[in-house]
A and B are shown apart, each in its own frame.
Chain A
Amino acid sequence: MLAIELRDVEFHYPSAPPEHALHIPHWQVDHGQRLFLHGRSGSGKTTLLRLLTGMMLPQQGQIRILGEDIQTMSASQRDSFRARHIGQISQQFYLLPYLSVADNIRLAAVLAKKSSAALDNNIYQLLEKLDMPANLFHQTAGRLSQGQQQRVAIARALINQPPLLFADEPTSALDEDSAAAFIRLLLQNLTPDTTLIMISHDHRQADWFDQSVALQDLTVVREDI
Chain B
Amino acid sequence: MLWRIARLSLWHRRITIGLIVLALTLAFAVLLAVEHIRHEVRDTFTGTVSGVDLIVGARTGSSNLLLYSLFGIGSPTRNMSWDSVETIRQQPAVDWVVPLSMGDSHRGFRVLATSSDFFTHFHYGQKHPLQWQHGQGFATASDVVIGSSVAQQLGYDLGDSLVLAHGQGRTSFSRHTDHPFTITGVLQPTGTPIDQTLLIGLDAMDLIHGGKPGAHPESISALLVGLNSRIQTFTLQRQINEFDDEALLAILPGVELSLLWENLGWIETSLRSIAALVLLSSMLGMITLLLVSIQQRQQELGTLRSLGAGPWFVFALIEIEVLLITASALLLALLTTQLGLLAAGQWLAHITGIQLTLLKIDARLLGWLGLLLLISLLAAVIPAWLASRRSLLQQLHSESH
Residues of A at the B interface (CB closer than 8 Å) are 13, 16, 42, 46-47, 50, 53, 55-56, 75-76, 79-80, 82-84, 88, 94-99, 103, 106-108, 110-112, 156
Closest chain B residue, CB of each to CB of A74:
B310
Say if the beta carbon of B153 comes within 8 Å of chain A.
no
A16 partner residues in chain B, CB cutoff 8 A:
401
The answer to whether B308 and A99 touch across the interface, beta carbons within 8 angstroms, is: no
Q: Which of B1, B311, B399, B400 contacts A75 (CB 8 A)?
A: B311
Q: Which of A79, A83, A97, A106 contacts B1 (CB 8 A)?
A: A106
Closest chain A residue, CB of each to CB of B399:
A46
Distance of B239 from chain A, by nearest CB (Å) = 79
The answer to whether A94 and B303 touch across the interface, beta carbons within 8 angstroms, is: yes
Say if the beta carbon of B4 comes within 8 Å of chain A.
yes
Distance of A139 from chain B, by nearest CB (Å) = 13
The answer to whether A88 and B306 touch across the interface, beta carbons within 8 angstroms, is: yes
Q: Do A47 and B303 form a contact, CB below 8 Å, given A96-B5, A99-B5, A111-B309?
A: no
Q: Which of A46, A56, A83 contacts B307 (CB 8 A)?
A: A83
What would 22 A/B residue contacts be, using CB atoms closer than 8 Å?
A42-B401, A46-B399, A46-B400, A47-B400, A55-B305, A55-B392, A55-B396, A56-B396, A75-B311, A82-B306, A83-B309, A88-B306, A88-B307, A96-B300, A96-B303, A98-B9, A98-B11, A103-B4, A107-B304, A108-B307, A111-B304, A111-B307
The answer to whether B12 and A97 touch across the interface, beta carbons within 8 angstroms, is: yes
Distance of A32 from chain B, by nearest CB (Å) = 23
Residues facing A in B164-195 (CB within 8 A) are none
A106 to B11, CA, bound (A): 20
Q: Which of B4, B302, B400 contacts A13 (CB 8 A)?
A: B400
B313 partner residues in chain A, CB cutoff 8 A:
111
Say if the beta carbon of B8 comes within 8 Å of chain A.
yes
Say if the beta carbon of B299 comes within 8 Å of chain A.
yes
Distance of A196 from chain B, by nearest CB (Å) = 18
Distance of B39 from chain A, by nearest CB (Å) = 42
Residues of B at the A interface (CB closer than 8 Å) are 1, 4-5, 8-9, 11-12, 299-300, 302-313, 392, 396, 399-401
A56 partner residues in chain B, CB cutoff 8 A:
396
Pick the most buried of B9, B303, B305: most chain A CB atoms within 10 A of its CB. Answer: B303
A103 to B1, CA, bound (A): 9
The DSSP consensus for interface residues of chain B is: helix
The answer to whether B396 and A84 touch across the interface, beta carbons within 8 angstroms, is: no
Pick the most buried of A46, A98, A106: most chain B CB atoms within 10 A of its CB. Answer: A98
With contacts A79-B311, A96-B304 known, what are 5 further pairs, Cβ within 8 A? A79-B305, A79-B308, A79-B309, A111-B308, A112-B308
A53 to B305, CA, bound (A): 11
A88 to B303, CA, bound (A): 10
A96 to B314, CA, bound (A): 14
A94 partner residues in chain B, CB cutoff 8 A:
299, 302-303, 306
A46 partner residues in chain B, CB cutoff 8 A:
399-400
The answer to whether B311 and A76 touch across the interface, beta carbons within 8 angstroms, is: yes
Distance of B390 from chain A, by nearest CB (Å) = 13
The answer to whether A98 and B310 touch across the interface, beta carbons within 8 angstroms, is: no
Distance of A98 from chain B, by nearest CB (Å) = 4
Q: Do A80 and B308 form a contact, CB below 8 Å, given A98-B8, A98-B9, A106-B1?
A: yes
